[in-house]
Amino acid sequence: MASEGRDPDPLWRNSPVKLGLLHAAFYALYMALGALAVGGITRSWLGAAIGAAVMGLLVLTAGLSVVDGLFAPFEWLRRGSLARLEGRHYSFAGQALDIHDDGRECWIAEHSIRKALGHARDDAFKARFANQWREARELGLPGKALWVRVSALHQHLADAPERMDPRRVRLRTYLDRDVMQPAARRRDRV
């Protein structure tokens, strides 16, 4: 009974017995609310029975999964709070990488490069990537970070004197396999 596209919680929602009991409890709760509402208005047991029956029929005929309906607001909150992180799933050697795909090029944040390679701040960074970097505002991103084309970093890692350093080789392979090739396939589909 879980919604499409959402994984149910494996701890209790996959258990048919527990899920059935939870559904029955919520259906009973809805019926009790209907009985209280109509019974309170009419001040009779007959009104309470009619209210419970009407509420039970409404829940059953609407096809509403009570548990999914109950958890829907939490799902919306979760999606809303994680929306700003959407697409930021790049990670190299346990370090999260900020990579932005603007539809034409992939860009990687300078601080991500420093974390991935273990470098300290370098004043000659812009000179190393002449005409291959942009500031965040030029890409329409918040903040003041410096962004470098992933293809330029990939080429720099291949041409640098320390190109055979195992960490640099792994980073270059990662950028090629997990960033540049998927981005090229996405662009080819469009």
| pLDDT one-digit tens code per residue, 120-146 | 566 666 677 778 888 888 888 888 888
Alpha-carbon span 88 to 137, nearest angstrom: 18
- For residues 62 and 154, membership in a common domain is answered with no
- For residues 47 and 102, membership in a common domain is answered with no
Determine the pLDDT at residue 67: 60
Determine the pLDDT at residue 46: 83
| pLDDT one-digit tens code per residue, 158-190 | 888 888 888 889 989 999 988 888 888 888 877
Final residue of a domain: which of 54, 84, 114?
84
Final residue of a domain: which of 38, 68, 84?
84
Q: Which residues, in sequence order, are CB contacts of 43 under 8 Å at separation 6+?
A: none
Determine the pLDDT at residue 122: 66
Cβ(134)–Cβ(144) below 8 Å: no
pLDDT grade for 69, boundaries at 50, 70 and 90: low
- For residues 124 and 176, membership in a common domain is answered with yes
- For residues 93 and 75, membership in a common domain is answered with no
pLDDT grade for 2, boundaries at 50, 70 and 90: very low
Is residue 130 situated within a structural domain? yes
Q: Is the pLDDT of residue 77 over 60?
A: yes
Determine the pLDDT at residue 45: 83
> What is the domain range of residue 131?
87-189
- SS3 assignment, position 129: coil
Predicted TM-score of the model (pTM):
0.53
Cβ(117)–Cβ(168) below 8 Å: yes
- Mark out the alpha helices in the chain (DSSP H runs): 16-42, 45-61, 66-82, 110-117, 125-128, 150-159, 166-174, 181-189
Determine the pLDDT at residue 1: 44
Determine the pLDDT at residue 159: 86
Final residue of a domain: which of 38, 60, 84?
84
Is residue 7 situated within a structural domain? no
Supply 27's token pair. Answer: 């259906």
Region 41-51 average pLDDT: 83
Residue 113: exposed, middle, or buried by beta-carbon count in 10 A (0-12, 13-18, 19+)?
buried
